[in-house]
Amino acid sequence: MAIADFQLIFIELVVPSGVAIADDAFWDRVKSKLTANQWKWVQYHIIEDMRLPEIARQEGVSAEAVKSWGREARRSGSANRKKQRKRCVTRLLAKYRSG
């Protein structure tokens, strides 16, 4: 599973093609990159398809707090994508310079 597939979840809010909701190894990798609250948003909103007010009630916080968890989780994916692009460009430049 590529990092790009991980990022699609947070950008497009869809499960990547070929990844089952029950794919524990995939979700463990996602969880390892997020804070506890960001993971709650992914687990409840993305995986379990809960509405934000339901999550807020369950967690004893405001709906705005839950929205904030989602924004932070999406930013986390964006930061990973930027790092990945930078590594790719660096590798291409190294190949170009050596070749």
State how far the Cα of 31 lies from the Cα of 42, in Å rounded to an integer.
9
Mean pLDDT of the region 38-66: 92
Residue 51 has pLDDT above 90, yes or no: yes
CA dist., res. 20 & res. 7, Å (int)? 16
For the chain, give every domain's residue range: 3-12+22-98
Cα-trace Rg, the chain? 16
Domain boundaries 3-12+22-98, CATH class: mainly alpha
Residue-level pLDDT at 99: 62
Rounded CA separation 69/42 (Å): 9
Prediction pTM value: 0.61
